[in-house]
């Protein structure tokens, strides 16, 4: 299970919100140095979000994303306001490994299907939910379809990766919603990366200990920026748990 640091971009700066809209806090005016720091601490993958894009539907931080990707030696994914093929191409041209589709893919599953057909595994789906309610347009609106019903629709698509975020826990440092995560993981065979509420190494341990082969990573944001634990500590914990499991299985 990968530990994936999040870099949320608003007006070119690294920020974190609570539940996507509340209590914005700026952590850095130099996103590139933040990305390099996560890489130096052992990150194998980065999660980049253009919050301006998510709120208004047009990419506002593409230049920053491109600068980050050019400087780092690890892959990254990026999302936020990507709602047509032209936008997908622009983000891919920045050098990211995966483009995260959200609002448009939920409102128009044919668009998601066409994107997967054209761009293959470069497409990931972002499902942001509070309970069964799927958030749209920077979480300002709610989809008419439930999370459960939408996951059913994905069965016929050749989708590789879903990023599931618990809106009610995102940025709250209140701990993960393990029952909700288990339900999502068990509802589909697609590879999942989860996020929302991670507050301690105990949360990381709970996720790493799950017997779900389709859990591929956890995105961590505020807990790292607030120094609840270090990225190195989280990576070491998952490696140790993996070694123990291998030993137990022998």
Catalytic center residues: 8, 128
Strands (E) located in 13-137: 13-18, 22-28, 46-50, 76-79, 98-101, 123-130, 133-136
Give 184's DSSP letter.
H
Answer for the pair 86, 59: CB distance below 8 angstroms, yes or no. no
Largest CA distance in the chain: 53
Answer for the pair 216, 185: CB distance below 8 angstroms, yes or no. no
Residues belonging to the chain: 250
Give the dihedral of Cα atoms 49, 79, 72, 208; nearest 10 deg: 80
Taking CA atoms, 58 is separated from 9, 51, 144, 217, in Å, by 13, 10, 23, 27
Answer for the pair 115, 136: CB distance below 8 angstroms, yes or no. no
Which residues pair with residue 47 across a beta bridge?
6, 77
The residue whose two tokens read 């509070």 is 130
């Amino acid at each position: 299970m990968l530990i994936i640091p999040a870099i949320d971009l608003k007006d070119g700066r690294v920020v974190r919100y609570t539940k996507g809209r509340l209590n914005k806090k700026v952590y850095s005016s130099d996103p590139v140095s933040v990305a390099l720091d996560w890489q130096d601490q052992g990150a194998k993958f980065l999660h980049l979000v253009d919050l301006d894009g998510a709120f208004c539907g047009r990419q506002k931080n593409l230049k920053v994303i491109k600068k980050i990707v050019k400087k780092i030696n690890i892959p990254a994914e990026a999302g936020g306001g990507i709602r047509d093929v032209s936008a997908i191409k622009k983000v891919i041209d920045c050098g990211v490994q995966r483009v995260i589709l959200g609002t448009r893919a939920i409102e128009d599953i044919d668009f998601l299907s066409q994107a997967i057909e054209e761009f293959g595994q470069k497409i990931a789906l972002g499902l942001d939910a509070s309970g069964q309610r799927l958030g749209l347009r920077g979480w300002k609106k709610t989809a008419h379809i439930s999370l459960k019903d939408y996951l059913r629709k994905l069965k016929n698509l050749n989708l590789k990766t879903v990023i599931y975020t618990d809106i009610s826990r995102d940025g709250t440092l209140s701990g993960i919603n393990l029952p909700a995560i288990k339900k999502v993981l068990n509802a589909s065979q697609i590879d999942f990366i989860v996020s929302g509420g991670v507050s301690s190494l105990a949360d990381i341990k709970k996720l790493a200990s799950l017997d779900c082969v389709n859990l591929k990573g956890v995105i961590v944001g505020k807990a790292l920026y607030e120094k609840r634990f270090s990225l190195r500590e989280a990576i070491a914990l998952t490696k140790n748990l993996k070694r123990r499991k291998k030993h137990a299985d022998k």
